[in-house]
Amino acid sequence: MIDINELSKLCETLGCRITPECSLSDYITFRFGGPCRALISVNSARSAAELIKYMKTTEIKYGILGRGSNVLVSDEGYDGVILLFGSDFSHMEISGNTIKCDAGVLLASACVRAQQLGLTGMENLFGIPGTVGGALYMNAGAYGSEMKDVVVEAEYIDENCELHTICKDDMQLSYRRSIFSGTSNVITSVTLELRSGNSDDIKKAMSECMAKRSSKQPLDYPSAGSTFKRPEGSYASLLIDQCGLKGLTCGGAMVSEKHSGFVINKGYATCADVLELCEKVKTIVKEKTGYQLELEPVILQ
């Protein structure tokens, strides 16, 4: 049982904003999903630790959300509290060639700041939606670059609500995975180490990267980005193309005709539509090619 009044008092003490019965469709890039019991905008690592400790002590179900770019939320919503790592927790600290980012910093914002400082190494990551914390959680990457190429350190809250520091070598970074994946540990900050470069050259490379994305990806429709992980030995989009599944629909969800690796929301999709479509794609690809596709977005449940 969630005592909203008690939770609101704790939020007031911590200086965090709380919104009871908040629709999550506004916080998910797919633009669907029902309400959560309350959404709290986290403003610091200490606040996050205190809030998580409260949730565990009172046995309240809770989830962590950043930009919502790699997340699915059911149409019924989330029967618990969502801790939002967003604009209230997005400070960047510069020291030489390093940028220490709060977990709520948008990855794109970190890329732009690096460019302004003449620091190179993040150009290919520009345009990836999501926060720096979320990007590290899944070791996000594009065009041959991954978070593991630039991260050197992170801070996180463990299952006992204690704050720890971890270095890159201990993060077990691999394709779309990290030591944090599938655990209750919560990333609170990420330190990036870059190299000195020419600001104009970096800006040009970022513009070229974004142009490439725009030309190949359906950025004008809501989605969660790449819908399926890359199977070993092939590519999800190639397999889906080979099976003739471009344009396949379920309700308001459709396999993009521009890039078959994306399932998009045509404007009226539900979570059920997307999940049904993804299951159809997985079944047909398995039957025709032998490859077993795996969903990349996390289902908040």
pLDDT of residue 50: 98
Look up 296 and say whether it is catalytic. yes
pLDDT of residue 65: 97
pLDDT of residue 1: 80
30-51 b/e with 16+ CB inside 10 Å = b?
Answer: bbbbbbbbbbbbbbbbebbbbb
Pick the catalytic residue from 37, 67, 176, 230. Answer: 176
**Beta strand pairing call for 92-95 and 98-102:** antiparallel
Give me the residues of the chain with pLDDT under 50, please. none
Identify the structural domains of the chain with CATH numbers, from first to last: 4-88 (3.30.43.10), 90-216 (3.30.465.10), 236-300 (3.90.78.10)
Look up 162 and say whether it is catalytic. no
The interaxial angle of helices 107-116 and 199-216, nearest 10 deg, is: 150
Pick the catalytic residue from 41, 178, 226, 256. Answer: 226
pLDDT of residue 301: 81
Look up 226 and say whether it is catalytic. yes
pLDDT of residue 76: 96
Confidence (pTM): 0.94
Pick the catalytic residue from 193, 208, 276, 296. Answer: 296
